[in-house]
Amino acid sequence: MSVMGEMNFFLGLQVHQCEKGIFIHQTKYVGDILKRFQMEDSKPAGTPLAQNHGITPDGTDEHVEPSLYRAMIGSLMYLTASRPDIMRLDLYPNGNNEENGANHIALYVVICDTESCPKGWEVCVDVCFFYANGHRTRFHENKTTWGFDKLISLESFMEGKNGYLYDDSCVFGAEVFEVHEFTQLDRCLSMKKPPATMNTHSWTINKVSAITEDEVYSQVFKVGKVKWKLSLFPKGFDSAAFPNDWKVYAKFKIRVKSQATENDIEKETDNWFCNSVDNWGFPTMMILSQLNDSENGFLLNDNLTVEVEILVMGMLKYFV
């Protein structure tokens, strides 16, 4: 046995020991990644790419060598999988009375540092507490904690012959493995194209010049089993039928109808709607001067007509 001095690395993680405690970090590994891919001087961003970026595959140009991209993604996957601060355990040694866990040990795994996540984020994981069998669950904006309100009774925990306590100390632990979205077998996606006679809704806004609100809404209309409504910002945009984890996909067109010509303004987009992102559209649908120009025919007798056509709609159902 040899004395190697103060421990600085453990299983590839850096260890920093000081008066305040022992801290685990990966500063060197992050620096090595940036240096390897020549990104040391790159500008950092909390969300490098928006979820609904509008980028489509380009099948005409030459194929890009994927090795570098795959190496970058692999390095990031290892970094996030081995982060010591992305998850934590919350223990209630005297019971979690708020969840009817009196007289029992309560233990939960909590996902941390979610403030920088984009709206609508979610992650599916397999969790295995050292005491219990494995279980698959999902974390999202409205669910960042999962565990057992009654992991083990206090009486059983304190019983010496059970071996949970040794020298008035105990050990709790958990293994957490992220489940890739394409390997999740516990959800069902149903997609359908609504009939052409039932997928379009027109909305006429009367006396547009007299509107004082910044945003106005249409009446609720129904396509399939989903209820929708349109919202309009007439002055320009300044830049409970579902459970908390509902998700609905829609590919749709929005039109501003010209009532004097056939030159409608039409834009197409798609989006996953969820509890935190329940609206989607175009902040710059058209220029106000274009709307108010009488020659374009968008305003007729101070009335405006907008229309939505839902091309494809899908619903995601989870079983966990």
275 and 202 fall within a common domain: yes
Domain identity same for 196 and 81: no
What whole-number distance in Å separates Cα of residue 127 and Cα of residue 177?
A: 7
171 and 23, same structural domain? yes
Nearest alpha carbon to residue 176 among 225, 120, 129, 224? 129
One domain for residues 200 and 174: no
- In-domain check, residue 44: no
- Rounded to 5°, the CA angle 187-193-197 comes to 145
The answer on 109 and 19 residing in a single domain is: yes
The model's pLDDT over 75-114, given as tens digits with 9 standing for 90+, comes to: 777 776 666 556 777 888 888 888 888 888 888 888 877 7
Is 59 part of any domain?
no
| pLDDT band at 320; cut points 50, 70, 90 | low
| Rounded Cα distance, 20 and 30, in Å | 24
User: Is the domain of 228 the same as that of 152?
Assistant: no
Same domain, 284 and 136: no
pLDDT for 56: 72
Same domain, 26 and 126: yes
Name the helix (H) or strand (E) containing 301.
Answer: none
275 and 201 co-located in one domain: yes
Q: Which of 184, 211, 234 is the last residue of a domain?
A: 184
Domain boundary among 184, 204, 219: 184
What one-letter code names the amino acid at 25? H
Q: Give the pLDDT score at 23.
A: 65
Helix axes 67-81, 27-36, angle to 10 degrees: 170
Q: Confirm whether 64 is domain-assigned.
A: no
33 within some domain: yes
Please enumerate, as own/partner, the contacts of 125-128 that have beta carbons within 8 Å and a separation of 24 or more.
Answer: 125/176, 125/177, 125/178, 125/179, 126/176, 126/177, 126/179, 127/174, 127/175, 127/176, 128/174, 128/175, 128/176
Beta-bridge mates of residue 169: 166
Q: How far is CA 272 from CA 119, 252, 275, 315, in A?
A: 11, 12, 10, 9
Which residue do the tokens 């908390």 mark?
244
Tell me the two tokens of residue 40. 């040391």
Q: Same domain, yes or no, for 309 and 207?
A: yes
Contact 106, 92 (CB under 8 A): yes
In this prediction, residue 308 has a pLDDT band, given cuts at 50, 70 and 90, of very high
- pTM to 2 decimals? 0.43
Give domain status of residue 46, yes or no: no
d(CA 273, CA 196): 22
Residues 139 and 205 occupy one common structural domain: no
User: What's the chain's average pLDDT?
Assistant: 78
Structural domain ending residue among the three candidates 146, 167, 184: 184
Specify if 99 maps to a domain. Answer: yes
The total number of structural domains in the chain stands at 2
Taking CA atoms, 113 is separated from 153, 209, 312, in Å, by: 31, 46, 35
Cβ distance 300 to 260 under 8 Å?
yes
Q: Is the dihedral of CA 15, 18, 22, 23 positive or negative?
A: negative
Distance CA 86, CA 72 (A): 20
Instruction: Decide if 102 is inside a domain.
Output: yes
The four Cα atoms 255, 226, 140, 127 give a dihedral, to 10 degrees, of -140
**Chain centroid offset of residue 139 CA:** 9
CATH number (domain holding residue 225): 2.60.210.10
Residue 258, domain member (yes or no): yes
pLDDT one-digit tens code per residue, 275-296: 777 788 888 888 888 998 989 9
Residues 228 and 256 in one domain: yes
Give one DSSP letter per residue of 70-119, joined into a string. HHHHHHHHHHHHT-TTSEEEEEETT--GGGT-TTEEEEEEEE---TTSPT
For residue 229, what are the domain limits?
A: 190-318
Distance CA 250, CA 270 (A): 6
Read off the CATH number of the domain in which 111 is found: 2.60.210
Distance CA 50, CA 266 (A): 23
Q: According to the model, what pLDDT value does residue 181 have?
A: 56
Are residues 114 and 65 in contact, defined by beta-carbon separation less than 8 angstroms?
no
Give the model confidence (pLDDT) of 158-212 as tens digits. Answer: 887 877 777 777 777 777 776 665 455 556 667 778 888 888 888 998 888 888 8
